A and B are shown apart, each in its own frame.
Chain A
Amino acid sequence: DAKTTQPPSMDCAEGRAANLPCNHSTISGNEYVYWYRQIHSQGPQYIIHGLKNNETNEMASLIITEDRKSSTLILPHATLRDTAVYYCTPDGTSYGKLTFGQGTILTVHP
């Protein structure tokens, strides 16, 4: 199984970009990287995913290194509502076992 490493916590000022890193050095060549976030006491919510190329949607951007060993989720203009726990995870191609690490607690300050 691919394992992920994320910093336990990060701070960001409101209106600034939040850059959340994830290390997934053992990811398989055909596994996507998925990002989710969990607001307190709710179920996690999908944000974005990617394989090799950088991706952008209405919520965030995802930068994946060329060797695919790490990625960065970018929230371009963080708001207070972006305060949450952010998880990166491979897509579980190892027989569908979808696992999550500890995630990063992002706190956005006014």
Chain B
Amino acid sequence: DGGITQSPKYLFRKEGQNVTLSCEQNLNHDAMYWYRQDPGQGLRLIYYSQIVNDFQKGDIAEGYSVSREKKESFPLTVTSAQKNPTAFYLCASTATDRGMWNTEAFFGQGTRLTVV
């Protein structure tokens, strides 16, 4: 079955360490996104990518980095520069209709990162 997979589901890191969250999709979607969610809050966009080897900053990109070397993969690195990295991280993907409109977004099940 096609879908979007995030791993791991739970991740613990020590303060000051970089950590990379995995996101893989086999839906042949062009666009991929990373969101951060804090308790009781909505989804805030970190980075997004419409095409391989290209990505744009979202609303809260500071302290994060991404790469898009393959269409299927969009890993997110939480760097030591991110002041409050503990959060729930969600990855999503969409197809792009004629390069203009996005279709429905498919989400992974999320990675809960705890930094101690």
Contacts and interface: CB of A to CB of B under 8 A. Distances in A.
B94 interface: yes
B75 to A, nearest CB: 17
Contacts of B56: 95, 97
A101 B43 CA distance: 7
Interface residues of A, number: 26
B65 to A, nearest CB: 18
A71 to B, nearest CB: 16
Contacts of B107: 43-45
Interface in B95-116: 96, 100-110, 112
A87 B101 contact: no
Nearest to A101: B42
Given A98-B92, A101-B42, A103-B42, A92 B110 contact: no
A92 B35 contact: no
Interface of B: 31, 33, 35, 41-43, 45, 48, 50, 56, 58-59, 88, 90, 92, 94, 96, 100-110, 112
Interface of A: 30-32, 34, 36, 41-46, 49, 85, 87, 91-93, 95-103
